[in-house]
Amino acid sequence: MKIWQYRADVERVVDGDTLDLSIDLGFGVILTGDEARIRLRDIDTAEIYGSAKDSDEYAAGQRHKEFVEEWIAHGTDQEWPFLIETSKDDERGKYGRWLAVIKRRNDGAVLNDDLVEEFGDTVRS
């Protein structure tokens, strides 16, 4: 299996399993916008959008999103603070988002793994 790895910065945490990034493709080419929206591979967190704000689903989704935001905050101490990895150059999920693993460059922590460690199988897809 071939691994593709790119430097990235997080522009926005959409929810617990979806991030908007700026991705450095090399040679001065930066990918942003809809093409740089990724879904965390093997992760499925509770939904925020489309869930009633007083529901358990929404509350869990907010906890997942806050965890991701805090995790991201611990890695923003350098230019291009994250690495994303995909296993195929055309690996996209059901909604067209790239499926990826995201790592912090400063300590090697893996968001996908840390979500499972924090929330267990409730976030594993």
Q: What string of H, E and C letters represents the secondary structure of the chain?
A: CCCEEEEEEEEEEEECCEEEEEEEEECCEEECHHHHEEEECCECCCCCCCCCCCCHHHHHHHHHHHHHHHHHHCCCCCCCCEEEEECCCCCECCCCCEEEEEEECCCCCEHHHHHHHHHHHHHEC
Does a structural domain hold residue 110? no
Give the domain extent around 43: 4-81+92-99+116-123
Does a structural domain hold residue 55? yes
Does a structural domain hold residue 111? no
Does a structural domain hold residue 10? yes
Count of structural domains within the chain: 1
Per-residue pLDDT of the chain (125 residues; tens, 9 = 90+): 678 899 999 999 999 999 999 999 999 999 998 889 999 999 999 999 888 999 999 999 999 999 999 999 998 888 899 999 987 766 766 666 789 999 999 999 999 999 999 999 888 87
